[in-house]
Amino acid sequence: MKVRSKLADVDFQIGAFEYKKDHLIVNSAESQAMKTKVYVSPDDIVRALGQILRKPMVWLYLLAFPFFLIRYRKRHAEKQENN
């Protein structure tokens, strides 16, 4: 997953999950040089679900997800073969 902001562009690979004081904590993978923790509150989940349910483009993406997954993996494999 790529995280882009004005401060930095980070390639974030999801590692272990934790639970602490009502927060879901998403840790970066051990293999990543820059260790990262993302704290997700219950309010974050509610807001995200609210946004997802209201956006038709998200529904379209979810319905077409199998196609996108196959296409992504095919392109990724071709890129690896060319390198």
Residue 83 has pLDDT above 80, yes or no: no
Which pLDDT tens digit goes with each residue over 11-49?
A: 888 999 999 999 999 998 888 887 888 899 999 999 999
Parent domain of 5: 1-40
Query: For residue 61, what pLDDT is reported?
Result: 92
CA distance 40 to 49: 13
Looking at the domain assignment, is residue 51 inside a domain?
Answer: no
Residue 53 has pLDDT above 80, yes or no: yes
Looking at the domain assignment, is residue 2 inside a domain?
Answer: yes
Looking at the domain assignment, is residue 3 inside a domain?
Answer: yes
Q: Tell me if the pTM is above 0.85.
A: no
Residue 10 has pLDDT above 90, yes or no: no
Taking residue 35's Cβ as centre, other Cβ atoms within 10 Å add up to 10
Looking at the domain assignment, is residue 55 inside a domain?
Answer: no
Domain count, the chain: 1
Query: For residue 40, what pLDDT is reported?
Result: 94
